[in-house]
Amino acid sequence: MIAENLKKTMETIEAAKKKRKEGMAEDVTLVAVTKNHTLESMRAAIDAGVTDIGENRIQESRQKFDALDREVTWHLIGHLQKNKAKYAVRMFDLIHSVDTIELAKELDREAAKHDKVQDILVQVNLAKEDSKSGVYEEELKALLFAIDGLENLRLKGLMCIAPNYDDVEDTRPLFRRMREIFEEIKEYPLERANIRILSMGMTHDYDIAIEEGATVVRVGTGIFGAREY
Ligand SMILES: *Cc1c(COP(=O)(O)O)cnc(C)c1O
């Protein structure tokens, strides 16, 4: 089941890449979102070719991190509370959800303790949804420059979660705007940043996100089936 779903997902990714505009030559990394799924499912996905996994809660990921007997790249995709920054730095290769300078400073402090340079993305709340985390577009530039002053963080790009529109095509302008912002921030005179990653698209909209320039997609349901809560 998982291997078959993964194969279909990879095919969808390849098809969407072919529809991109010229100049979008990046590879697309698939993050398999394993939240609420078992270690067995994680192992099955990794054995079928998954290299990157995404989790959204610290407590759940700590148990899995300790128990998983596979080498894999760990992505934190969910909202992170400052008081859990220390766990995040220990486990995650890339933290997608930085959206305040306070959180960034806490991550920087913890990373320094571990002699680590922590790769991060800044989450943008483009549609200004109350229910979602993320910095507003107007405040993005100031946040990026503030983060650039933190020695133990390396900004790698941006992340967004599109609203759940009835018609998934309505997400397209938003993904397109994210790509524009992504190109804009590459031109900022940031010292430490290495802007390469645009994380956008989930099961219902990742094909559109790729067509509009995503370099990382986060797919859970499409690989593992519906989550039971
Ligand atoms: C759960 C989650 C996903 C995956 O969602 P699916 O619809 O199951 O693909 C992607 N990104 C974030 C931030 C999530 O929390």
In the chain the domains, ranked by start, together with CATH numbers, are 2-223 (3.20.20.10)
Name 171's Cβ contacts closer than 8 Å, sequence gap at least 6: 162, 163, 165, 205, 208, 209
Instruction: Indicate which residue's Cα is closest to atom 6 of ligand 1.
Output: 220
**How many angstroms is it from 222 CA to the middle of ligand 1?**
10
Q: Is the CB of 161 under 6 A from ligand 1?
A: yes
The structure's pTM equals 0.97
The response to whether residue 133 sits with its C-beta less than 6 Å from ligand 1 reads no
Q: Are 58 and 87 in contact (CB under 8 A)?
A: yes
Does residue 79 line the site of ligand 1, with CB under 6 A? no
Contact 7, 30 (CB under 8 A): no
**Does ligand 1 come within 6 angstroms of the Cβ of 202?**
yes
pLDDT at 227: 84
What averages of pLDDT result for each successive group of 10 residues across the chain (229 residues)? 97 97 91 97 98 97 96 98 98 98 98 98 97 97 98 98 96 98 98 98 98 98 89
Integer Cα distance of 93 and 85 in angstroms: 13
- Residue 69 CB-density burial (10 A; 0-12 exposed, 13-18 middle, 19+ buried): exposed
What's the one-letter identity of residue 5?
A: N
157 lines ligand 1 (CB under 6 A): no
Of 220, 219, 176, nearest to 198 (Cα)? 176
Predicted pLDDT of residue 154: 98
56 lines ligand 1 (CB under 6 A): yes
**Residue 39 contacts residue 84 (beta carbons within 8 Å):** no
Residue 96 CA, closest ligand 1 atom number: 13
Per-residue DSSP letter, 226: P
Confidence at residue 108, expressed as pLDDT on a 0 to 100 scale: 98
Whether residue 201 has its Cβ less than 6 Å from ligand 1: no
